[in-house]
Amino acid sequence: RIYPLMRVTLTTSDGASVTVSRQLTKHSGFIEKAITDMAVDDNAVPLSAVAVDVDDATLKLVIEWLTEHRDDALPYPEKTDEERRADDIPAWDQAFVQKWDTKEDQQQTLYAVITAADKLDIKGLLDMTCKTLANKINGKTVEEMREILQLECDFTEEELAEIRKENAWCEN
Amino acid sequence: FFLRFTMPSLEQDVYAKKNISNLPMELLRMIVEPLEIWDRLSVRLTCSAFEEAVATSTHSCRIMELQYDYEDSVFKVMIDAFELFGCTTRSVAHRTLHWRQRMFGQLRVQSLIVRTVRLIDIRVVNSFLDACIFDELTVHVSRHQGLSTRVYDLIAKAKVRVVLHIRYFVPTPKQFMTFSRPVEFHFFKKWKPIKDEDFLNVLRRGHSIKSTHGIKLRSEQTLAEAIKIVSYSVVAQALRIICIEPDFLHPLLQMTNAKKIAPLKHYHSHHTYNYLRAQIYSEFYPRFGQLFVSSCSYDEEEE
């Protein structure tokens, strides 16, 4: 059992320190492993801070998400084939991501949260952010997808023509 | 701070790296996997990273259907509502193979339908099936192919359920025993008289039989034994009984767990007889819903 009052200090890549409950960090495979490596059991407080390769602003977003999902079941359930869909994002998560839409660097925020979820091994957050991106490009044209994802076409004209030819196979 | 002034392009480069296309390939695959097939076509045109993600990711679909038209030598691949047409000439087959390799790393199919087993001879279809994991398999066995080793190979690949539609012949009792896993057979041809013991052996193997013409049994004991086998089966099995004598059927139904008996359906008139229908299910049956029905009929009219 993890006691809510037990806290872990995390140091961010830009030097900030954040103290969070073990109730939240249990969702992060990376932090849990770091604590285990310190030979600390569930009932003890780690003596030293856990360094995470995530900046302070992004970590705050991650903690906000973890706070909402602190009671989610662990381990994160493996998705079956039927569940490989992107239209089942909980309402709170949708609102959480929509807040970034107003930001100029919305794309950068999403990128930062995805990489943070990957680095910290938070499967639920990673799953949700990838689904959000899938939803954003769902039903869009190639140009719209490039615009949404801020992608630059790195194909040569020949490569592009070849892929179009392959696609035309099906579109016909 | 110093580098910003000495190498003004550095900050821009670092910023440029924070682009979705620079995410690890595993994450790009997570983004493209929920997409429908037409979105996959579009996203692979955006940039090389997403093109690679599409080619190496898994695509899940509900139904994939492979058909082969003998007369025109044309095969058709349908993935959900999406159609791909091709033909058997070597060059087109090669192109289709290349297309599949760029469109999916793996296909997870809930239900694979193969219209004729002959098409498994085509290299490109083999390629589709190699990259495909399917739960349910329905094979429409052709007159030309019969129950060849290719059918058995396909059956071995299905993860959950196998349905064989056989229009032109009925396997012999010996052939039924060659299937190493329960198979749901749908027959459209009238059965030659089958020994009661052979029929029970088919059921004991876990097979289910849906026959347009029914199967005529010789004795009440056989029907009683059939009910017992199906209701205590450890695989998904069902038995549909059509009987014109409710008084005869009721005591037989008492033998099994009432929960495994579907409500007796209403009498309905067929020619001059009123029929009573009952369905017996094994414990594992309901997960397939009403799609999975085996039938044997006890038809006193024929008897």
Measure Cα distances from B168 to B38, B41, B59, B121 in Å: 38, 40, 35, 21
Mean pLDDT of chain B: 73
Pairing, β B106-114 against β B58-69: parallel
Rounded percentage of chain B residues whose pLDDT exceeds 70: 61
Domain shared by A134 and A152, yes or no = no
Place of tokens 């876990």: B206
User: Does A80 map to a domain?
Assistant: no
User: Does A118 map to a domain?
Assistant: yes
Helix (H, G, I), strand (E, B) or coil at B22: helix
Question: Average of pLDDT values for B31-35?
Answer: 93
User: Does A110 map to a domain?
Assistant: yes
Residues 6+ apart with CB under 8 A from B217: B196, B199, B223, B226, B296, B298
H runs (alpha helix) in B162-288: 173-176, 196-204, 220-231, 246-254
Helix (H, G, I), strand (E, B) or coil at A44: coil
Q: Which of A110, A130, A166 sits opposite B99 (nearest CB)?
A: A166
Confidence of residue B10 (pLDDT cuts 50, 70, 90): very low
Domain shared by A124 and A146, yes or no = no
Confidence of residue B5 (pLDDT cuts 50, 70, 90): very low
Domain shared by A126 and A65, yes or no = yes
Domain shared by A132 and A154, yes or no = no
Domain shared by A112 and A67, yes or no = yes
Is B41–A172 a contact, with Cβ atoms under 8 angstroms apart? no
User: Does A154 map to a domain?
Assistant: yes
Is A84–B48 a contact, with Cβ atoms under 8 angstroms apart? no
Q: pLDDT at position A66, please?
A: 93
Domain shared by A71 and A110, yes or no = yes
Confidence of residue B33 (pLDDT cuts 50, 70, 90): very high
pLDDT tens sequence across B120-163: 455 566 667 788 899 999 988 877 667 877 788 888 889 888 99
Domain shared by A148 and A70, yes or no = no
Domain shared by A118 and A35, yes or no = yes
pLDDT tens sequence across A8-63: 888 999 888 888 888 888 899 999 888 888 766 655 666 678 889 999 999 999 99
CA B220 to CA B222: how far, in whole Å?
A: 5
| B283 min Cα distance to partner chain A (Å) | 23
Q: What is the ipTM of this complex?
A: 0.88
- Total domain count for chain A? 2
Greater confidence (B223 vs B51) lies with: B51
Helix (H, G, I), strand (E, B) or coil at B136: strand
Greater confidence (B54 vs B220) lies with: B54
The domain locations on chain B are 1-56
User: Does A2 map to a domain?
Assistant: no
Domain shared by A103 and A158, yes or no = no
Of B103-117, B160-174, B240-254, B256-270, where does mean pLDDT reach its minimum?
A: B256-270
Pairing, β A17-21 against β B74-79: unpaired
* Buried-state track B86-116, b at ≥16 Cβ within 10 A, e below 16: bbbeeebbebbbebbebbbbebbbbbbbbbb
Greater confidence (B153 vs B266) lies with: B153
CA B210 to CA B184: how far, in whole Å?
A: 8
pLDDT tens sequence across B199-211: 899 889 988 887 7
**Domain of residue A172, residue span:** 142-172
User: Does the pLDDT of residue B297 top 60, yes or no?
Assistant: no
Domain shared by A148 and A111, yes or no = no
Nearest Cα neighbor of B35 from B91, B80, B86, B85 is B80
pLDDT tens sequence across B47-97: 999 999 999 999 988 898 887 766 666 667 788 877 766 655 555 666 677
Q: pLDDT at position B267, please?
A: 42
User: Does the pLDDT of residue B263 top 50, yes or no?
Assistant: no
pLDDT tens sequence across A124-136: 999 999 999 999 9
Is A151–B31 a contact, with Cβ atoms under 8 angstroms apart? no
A to B CB pairs, distance under 8 Å: 108
Greater confidence (A157 vs B303) lies with: A157
Question: Average of pLDDT values for A133-145?
Answer: 93
Domain shared by A52 and A110, yes or no = yes
CA A134 to CA A115: how far, in whole Å?
A: 16
User: Does A56 map to a domain?
Assistant: yes
Question: Average of pLDDT values for B29-45?
Answer: 92
Q: Which of B21, B60, B102 sits opposite A151 (nearest CB)?
A: B21
Is A137–B39 a contact, with Cβ atoms under 8 angstroms apart? yes
What is the residue type of A11? T
Q: Which of B44, B46, B103 sits opposite A149 (nearest CB)?
A: B46
Q: Which of B21, B45, B84 sits opposite A163 (nearest CB)?
A: B45
B214 neighbors B297 (Cβ within 8 angstroms):
yes
Domain shared by A61 and A122, yes or no = yes
Nearest Cα neighbor of B67 from B80, B86, B93, B82 is B86
- Interface residue ranges in chain B relative to chain A, Cβ cutoff 8 Å: 18-21, 23-24, 27, 30-37, 39, 41-48, 50-51, 58, 60, 82, 84-85, 95-96, 98-99, 102-103, 108, 110
Tally of CB atoms within 10 A around A140:
17
